[in-house]
């Protein structure tokens, strides 16, 4: 029996396939389909985004999608803040050690 091992659950790859299908038709999408693509895109596997970027057909459509919906695709500041807090704590500790 042959078993395929993947790093991500099948649902991630199914959503990636759905995003690719929508992107192939972009910008000729209904507003509901655009909303679906906006909802799916931030959760796509990085490998899939890289493959879409390198695809000659999808790359210009992906670029147009990014340009048209940049504000909706931007990472919320509160998520970035979670990354900045440990960095700030490390800097404070280093400065404390240096000036102590």
Percent of the chain with pLDDT over 90: 48
| CB count in 10 Å sphere of residue 15 | 20
pLDDT at 6: 54
Residue 37: other Cβ atoms inside 10 A: 21
Tens of pLDDT along 46-75? 888 899 999 999 999 999 999 999 888 876
Cβ-proximal residues to 42 (8 Å cutoff; 6+ apart), any chain: 73, 75
pLDDT of residue 56: 94
At residue 86, the pLDDT reads 86
Give the per-residue pLDDT at 8.
55
Output the six-digit token pair for 77: 């500041």
pLDDT for position 33 = 95
- Pure H helices in 29-76: 31-40, 46-54, 58-68, 70-73
* Cα 97 from chain centre: 38
Q: Which pLDDT value is given to residue 73?
A: 83
Residue 83 dihedral angles phi and psi, to the nearest 5° = -80, -30
Ranges of residues in the chain whose predicted pLDDT is under 50: 5
pLDDT at 9: 65
């Amino acid at each position: 029996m042959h078993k395929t091992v993947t790093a991500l659950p099948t649902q991630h790859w199914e959503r990636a396939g759905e995003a690719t299908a929508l992107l192939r038709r972009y910008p000729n999408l209904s507003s509901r389909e655009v909303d679906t693509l906006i909802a799916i895109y931030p959760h796509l596997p990085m490998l899939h985004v890289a493959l879409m970027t390198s695809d000659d057909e999808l790359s210009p459509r992906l670029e147009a999608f990014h340009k048209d919906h940049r504000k909706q695709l931007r990472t919320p500041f509160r998520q970035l803040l979670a990354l900045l807090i440990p960095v700030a704590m490390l800097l404070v500790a280093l400065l404390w050690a240096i000036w102590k």
